[in-house]
């Protein structure tokens, strides 16, 4: 296999294989052989496991559970099908956690063993005015400098709106593809540089063609596409645009702000001393600890077991 694929392709091949039914069955059987009675929670990806772990601990810090990562919503659906058809029997209950995305995905709407976000994904809860203000308060050495924090927060509000405008067409294309059940021609890039150039005080479009980011075969001239475009325009951008794009922006901007803070640049010109921003703590766990819980999640967690 390694002679046919380069190392990055091989890693992607292994990652995608985790979501195939046969591989999921083997992994789930192995998990249940070790923990036949344990509560198990199935997640789409590794990032979800981190974020939901923080949220679950806030609601029920005493709850113990095992996890299985399924490499996407389709993988979680495959695992649910495996369990629902009694291919594997055990005493422990398995729950499923998925993102709403653009499709809502009907197979998950018929059971109380599933939690689905009311926003696009978990990342949409992490990128918010609330989280930004708390992160600025806690990770930057700007205690007692309300004007500085307010200036930073105003920058976040403005730049985030600009970023959502820049990525509108990306989200629209994805919405149309998902709604029409058209497979994308290539994976969506996971680097902020493909979407935008982000600094502490500005955000601008990248030089990457949109066809290199969201591409599929469709002429887009039919009436259904017009209807989908109208539906898309009704979405709340912060809640319903692709959250993984937003988290890329948020991290890039926070790191840029932290560098400006450490260099005493711009709004940080009046800082004194050697105190530095806590850049190592910029990440998913930090954001999840400061975010609001998704609607209905607390009740879902309280009902686990």
For the chain, domain boundaries:
7-116, 124-290
- Give me the phi and psi of 94, to 5 degrees please: -115, 135
- Give me the phi and psi of 252, to 5 degrees please: -60, -40
Positions of the chain with pLDDT under 50: 1-15, 17
Q: What is the DSSP secondary structure assignment for residue 279, as one 8-state letter?
A: G
pLDDT of amino acid 274: 86
Q: What is the DSSP secondary structure assignment for residue 188, as one 8-state letter?
A: P
pLDDT of amino acid 270: 83
CA distance 180 to 228: 9
pLDDT of amino acid 174: 95
Angle among Cα 109, 122, 68 to the nearest 5 degrees reads: 70
pLDDT of amino acid 88: 67
Strands (E), 4-120: 40-43, 66-69, 94-98, 114-116
Q: Which of 302, 262, 253, 260 is nearest to 127 (CA)?
A: 253
């Amino acid at each position: 296999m390694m002679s046919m694929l380069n190392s990055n392709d091989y890693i992607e091949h292994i990652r995608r294989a985790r979501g195939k039914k046969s591989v999921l069955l083997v992994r789930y059987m192995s998990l249940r052989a070790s923990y036949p009675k344990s509560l198990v929670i199935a997640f789409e990806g590794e990032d979800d496991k981190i974020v939901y772990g923080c949220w679950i601990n806030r609601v029920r810090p005493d709850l113990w559970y095992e996890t299985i990562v399924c490499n996407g919503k389709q993988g979680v659906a495959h695992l649910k099908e495996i369990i629902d058809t009694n291919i594997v029997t055990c005493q422990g209950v398995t729950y499923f956690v998925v993102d709403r995305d653009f499709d809502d995905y009907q197979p998950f709407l018929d059971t109380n063993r599933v939690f689905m976000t009311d926003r696009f994904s978990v990342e949409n809860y992490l990128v918010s005015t609330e989280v930004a203000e708390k992160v600025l308060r806690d990770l930057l050495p700007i205690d007692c400098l309300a004007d500085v924090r307010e200036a930073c927060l105003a920058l976040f509000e403005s730049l985030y709106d600009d970023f959502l405008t820049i990525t509108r067409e990306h989200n629209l294309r994805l919405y149309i593809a998902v709604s029409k059940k058209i497979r994308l021609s290539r994976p969506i890039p996971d680097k902020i540089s493909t979407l935008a150039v982000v600094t502490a005080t500005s955000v601008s479009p990248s030089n990457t063609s949109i066809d290199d980011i969201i591409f599929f075969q469709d002429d887009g001239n039919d009436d259904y596409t017009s209807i989908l475009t109208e539906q898309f325009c009704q979405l709340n951008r912060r809640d319903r645009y692709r959250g993984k794009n937003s988290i890329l922006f948020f991290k890039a901007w926070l790191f840029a702000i932290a560098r400006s803070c450490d260099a005493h640049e711009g709004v940080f010109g009046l800082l004194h001393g050697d105190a530095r921003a806590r850049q190592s703590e910029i990440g998913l766990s930090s954001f999840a600890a400061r975010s609001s819980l998704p609607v209905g999640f607390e009740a879902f967690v309280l009902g686990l077991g």
